């Protein structure tokens, strides 16, 4: 990214304005010594496309946010109605009184459109700034994935600390929820949460508190999974909490069901519904996919041969992304239609990125449901950031037809094509995790994560592949499962 000279009053391209905001971001000045502050850059463009102003965090005074510097310091007396703002990070909602969040400064400035480089990494507030802007009739769009990844890399430590703070219990005041799904459901009780779902979430997220404790309830409150009435000291589930942890979320949200329809020539369709708490759905679906699309492995000698006619990992990621990113305010269910030639995954909701970005695999990893995304990611149920798009982009190279994306009214349809059984030959020595297993003799998924840095879900996949290859055997169940080397 060239550090070219930009002149105010000149017209530059959309890409150049994005790159300029990243250049500004890199100039940011931190004001804290006990925590990492985000690097943020902002660029303002007039309706004719001319560069008007730039700013970065701490540019004028320590602690000043970039958007605040533009609207309240540099252009305080200027009418910027209808202008376009480029900002590397989702505008904040709350600041310590009497300061006002950058979302409100942007709204007060009557900006017409905001391009955002990356959503707020703190899952307790992520998406709230976007919600406020859209509620004020301001158009919102996002940077392409390659720029979003740059911003995440530059802010890696801040993002890590923000996500960790969301998993810790503390006494700070919690920002009130903004979206309807984060409001309480008066006809449900905390006892309507599934104990199994809560236990699995606590174990897989590595939370340091137990179900029912004050610390645990604070965690639920911070993520808007419950609402607390201070006068009566009682709590109620929110819509979000019921979706993630409810015993029967379909009682309130029938659209949360997921439906498989499998059509094979000459046979009656097989229909299977999945319902229940979202935190338990991914494992159930993965088990079902193993039945629907089994791997045919020959172990008469090594190297081993695996035969399959579907890009299994890519399909799994498409389904998981549908669960994480769909619009739960819409009535249709997630549909997975399987026939002899293809699999179509239908996800309700107009995606946050234009359909053209899907076709070029350049969609940034911004979620409509950041709290759902955070919990499922921390549980190891969705892959690393951007993994799904990367898997889809490799299909042609791996011998499968290029996937297609279609927007049918307000439903995103992703089609993966089946091919004649392709054979993948894998030498045992190339199996992921074998080196670590040979060295340590016994591994858990947590230990494997520590050794390799992969996600929890990737760790379980690698270790289970070793079991299937006859190089390891499982002992125990759940997060404490041990994988023992077979000599």
What are 221-248's pLDDT values in tens digits? Answer: 989 899 887 655 678 999 999 999 999 9
- pLDDT greater than 60 at residue 178: no
Overall average pLDDT of the 283-296 stretch: 84
Cα–Cα distance measured from residue 198 to residue 210, given in angstroms and rounded to the nearest whole number: 10
Overall average pLDDT of the 372-390 stretch: 79
Q: Are strands 84-87 and 113-116 parallel, antiparallel or unpaired?
A: parallel
Among 238-247, 392-401, 426-435, the range of highest mean pLDDT: 238-247
- Strands (E) located in 368-410: 404-408
Cα–Cα distance measured from residue 227 to residue 242, given in angstroms and rounded to the nearest whole number: 12
Q: 156: pLDDT confidence band, cut at 50, 70 and 90?
A: very high
- pLDDT greater than 50 at residue 405: yes
Cα–Cα distance measured from residue 355 to residue 188, given in angstroms and rounded to the nearest whole number: 38
Q: Alpha carbon of 104 to those of 70, 93, 111, 134, 481: distances in Å?
A: 13, 7, 11, 12, 49
Cα–Cα distance measured from residue 167 to residue 204, given in angstroms and rounded to the nearest whole number: 12
- 41 by Cβ neighbours in 10 Å (0-12 / 13-18 / 19+) ranks as buried
Residue 441 φ/ψ region, left for φ over 0, alpha for ψ in the -120 to 50 degree band, beta for the rest: left
**Mean of the per-residue pLDDT values for the chain?**
86
Span of 82-91, 167-176, 177-186 with lowest mean pLDDT: 167-176
Tokens 């982009």 correspond to: 393
Q: 430: pLDDT confidence band, cut at 50, 70 and 90?
A: low
pLDDT of residue 176: 47
Q: 172: pLDDT confidence band, cut at 50, 70 and 90?
A: very low
Overall average pLDDT of the 449-477 stretch: 81
Supply the pTM of this predicted model.
Answer: 0.75
Span of 32-41, 266-275, 430-439 with lowest mean pLDDT: 430-439
Contact of 253 with 186, CB cutoff 8 Å: no
Of 4, 35, 31, the C-alpha closest to 17 is 4
Cα–Cα distance measured from residue 68 to residue 87, given in angstroms and rounded to the nearest whole number: 12
Cα–Cα distance measured from residue 28 to residue 164, given in angstroms and rounded to the nearest whole number: 23
Name which residue leads in pLDDT, 174 or 151.
151
Q: 173: pLDDT confidence band, cut at 50, 70 and 90?
A: very low
- pLDDT greater than 90 at residue 121: no
| Tokens encoding 157 | 């430590």
pLDDT of residue 109: 95
Contact of 374 with 201, CB cutoff 8 Å: no
Name the percent of the chain lying above pLDDT 70.
Answer: 89
pLDDT of residue 248: 95
- Strands (E) located in 309-437: 334-338, 342-348, 404-408, 411-417, 422-426
pLDDT of residue 308: 66
- 61 by Cβ neighbours in 10 Å (0-12 / 13-18 / 19+) ranks as exposed
Span of 332-346, 442-456, 467-481 with lowest mean pLDDT: 467-481
Overall average pLDDT of the 27-35 stretch: 91
pLDDT of residue 439: 87
- pLDDT greater than 60 at residue 174: no
Overall average pLDDT of the 29-38 stretch: 90
Cα–Cα distance measured from residue 341 to residue 357, given in angstroms and rounded to the nearest whole number: 25
Angle between helices 281-292 and 312-325 (to 10 degrees): 150
Q: 424: pLDDT confidence band, cut at 50, 70 and 90?
A: very low
Interior angle at CA 104, CA 102 and CA 106, nearest 5: 70
Q: Are strands 304-308 and 422-426 parallel, antiparallel or unpaired?
A: antiparallel
Phi and psi angles of residue 330, each rounded to the nearest 5 degrees, phi first: -90, 150
Cα–Cα distance measured from residue 233 to residue 211, given in angstroms and rounded to the nearest whole number: 18
Contact of 419 with 399, CB cutoff 8 Å: yes
Contacts of residue 336, defined as CB under 8 A and 6 or more positions apart, other chains included, come to 258, 259, 260, 261, 319, 343, 344, 345, 346
Overall average pLDDT of the 346-371 stretch: 90
Burial 438-470 (b: 16+ CB within 10 A, else e): eeeeebbbbbbbeeeebbbbbbbbbbbbbeebe
- pLDDT greater than 60 at residue 302: no
Span of 369-383, 432-446, 459-473 with lowest mean pLDDT: 459-473
pLDDT of residue 3: 66
- pLDDT greater than 50 at residue 301: no
Q: 169: pLDDT confidence band, cut at 50, 70 and 90?
A: low
pLDDT of residue 315: 92
Name which residue leads in pLDDT, 486 or 271.
271
pLDDT of residue 232: 58
Q: How many residues does the chain have?
A: 487
| Tokens encoding 22 | 């990243």
Contacts of residue 434, defined as CB under 8 A and 6 or more positions apart, other chains included, come to 428, 466, 471
Measured from the Cβ of residue 288, the count of other Cβ atoms closer than 10 Å reads 14
Name which residue leads in pLDDT, 173 or 429.
429
Name the percent of the chain lying above pLDDT 90.
Answer: 52
Give the rounded distance of the alpha carbon of 470 from its chain centre.
34
């Amino acid at each position: 990214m060239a550090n070219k000279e930009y002149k105010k009053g000149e017209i530059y391209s959309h890409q150049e304005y994005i790159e300029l905001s990243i250049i500004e971001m890199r100039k940011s000045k931190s004001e804290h010594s006990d925590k990492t502050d985000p690097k943020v850059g902002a660029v303002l463009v007039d309706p004719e496309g001319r560069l008007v102003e730039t700013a970065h965090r701490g540019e004028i005074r320590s602690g000043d946010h970039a958007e605040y510097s533009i609207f309240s310091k540099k252009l305080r007396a200027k009418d910027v109605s209808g202008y376009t703002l480029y900002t590397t990070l989702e505008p904040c909602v709350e600041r310590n009184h009497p300061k006002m969040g950058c979302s409100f400064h942007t709204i007060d400035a009557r900006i017409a459109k905001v391009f955002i480089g990356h959503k707020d990494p703190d899952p307790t507030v992520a998406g709230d700034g976007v919600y406020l802007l859209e509620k004020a009739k301001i158009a919102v769009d996002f940077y392409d994935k390659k720029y979003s990844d740059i911003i995440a890399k530059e802010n890696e430590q801040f993002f890590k600390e923000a996500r960790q703070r969301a998993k810790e219990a503390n006494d700070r005041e919690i920002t009130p929820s903004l979206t309807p799904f984060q409001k309480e459901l008066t006809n449900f009780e905390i006892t309507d949460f599934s104990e199994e779902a809560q236990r699995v979430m606590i174990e897989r997220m590595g939370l340091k508190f137990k179900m029912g404790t004050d610390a645990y309830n604070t965690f639920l409150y911070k993520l808007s999974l419950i609402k607390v009435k201070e006068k009566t000291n009682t709590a109620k589930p929110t819509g979000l909490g019921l979706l993630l942890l409810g015993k029967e979320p379909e009682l309130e949200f029938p659209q949360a069901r997921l439906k498989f329809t499998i059509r094979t020539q000459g046979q009656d369709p097989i229909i299977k519904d999945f319902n229940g708490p979202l935190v338990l759905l991914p494992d159930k679906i993965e088990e079902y996919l193993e039945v629907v699309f089994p791997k045919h492995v020959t172990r008469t000698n090594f190297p081993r041969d695996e035969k399959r006619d579907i890009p299994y990992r890519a399909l799994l990621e498409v389904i998981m992304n549908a669960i994480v990113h769909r619009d739960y305010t819409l009535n249709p269910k997630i549909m997975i239609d399987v026939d002899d030639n293809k699999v179509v995954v239908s996800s309700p909701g107009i995606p946050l990125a234009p359909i053209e970005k899907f076709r070029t695999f350049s969609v940034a990893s911004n979620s409509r449901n950041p709290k759902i995304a955070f919990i499922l990611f921390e549980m190891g149920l969705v892959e690393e950031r951007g993994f799904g798009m990367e898997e889809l982009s490799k299909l042609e190279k791996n011998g499968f037809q290029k996937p297609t994306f279609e927007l049918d009214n307000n439903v995103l349809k992703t089609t993966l094509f089946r091919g004649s059984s392709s054979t993948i030959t894998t030498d045992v020595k190339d199996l992921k995790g074998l080196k670590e297993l040979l060295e340590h003799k016994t591994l858990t998924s947590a230990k494997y994560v520590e050794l390799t840095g992969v996600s929890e879900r990737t760790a379980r996949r690698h270790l289970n592949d070793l079991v299937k290859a006859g190089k390891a055997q499982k002992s125990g169940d759940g997060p404490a499962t041990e994988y023992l080397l077979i000599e």
